[in-house]
Amino acid sequence: MKAIVASALMLISAATIANAADKDTDIANYSADYWLPYCKDFINGKRAEDDFNPNFCAGMVFGLGVLLRQDPKSPLYCVDIPEGITFEQAINVVIHYIEEHPQDMHHPFKYLALVAIMDAWPCKSK
């Protein structure tokens, strides 16, 4: 599994470099360091009416979960997310992964969220 995670991080790095020019204009490419507090705010129920960031963070994790469940045996992103995993549990998995890997917080949040989900619920079989 560590080889898969390492490979995914290499792909993330390549994608990050390729998208560097658009980084400042595409909010989805903001770093995990930027998004982590908003994810925690979402989990803790701290959502101001004029601040969409906690909901945006949650939406990115939700979107990844939906996408990965559509093609759970993809050769690139194979996961086995158990039935019954809640939206909040998935966000907590992402938060925990990012906090356990502070050296990667400069990478785009969406990529670390993907790696976190892959790490938490790896493929059982292809």
The predicted-structure confidence for 23-44, as pLDDT tens digits, reads as follows 456 776 899 999 999 999 999 9
- Give the C-alpha separation, 72 to 54, whole Å: 27
For the range 63-68, what are the long-range contacts, defined as Cβ-Cβ under 8 Å and sequence gap of 24 or more? Answer: 64/110, 64/113, 64/114, 64/117, 65/90, 65/117, 68/117
Query: Does pLDDT of 113 surpass 90?
Result: yes
- Give the C-alpha separation, 94 to 108, whole Å: 13
Contact 99, 43 (CB under 8 A): no
**Is the pTM higher than 0.85?**
no
pLDDT at 104: 96
The predicted-structure confidence for 92-110, as pLDDT tens digits, reads as follows 999 999 999 999 999 999 9
User: Which residue in the block uniquely carries the two structure tokens 């963070």?
Assistant: 57
Residue extents of the structural domains in the chain? 2-18+29-120
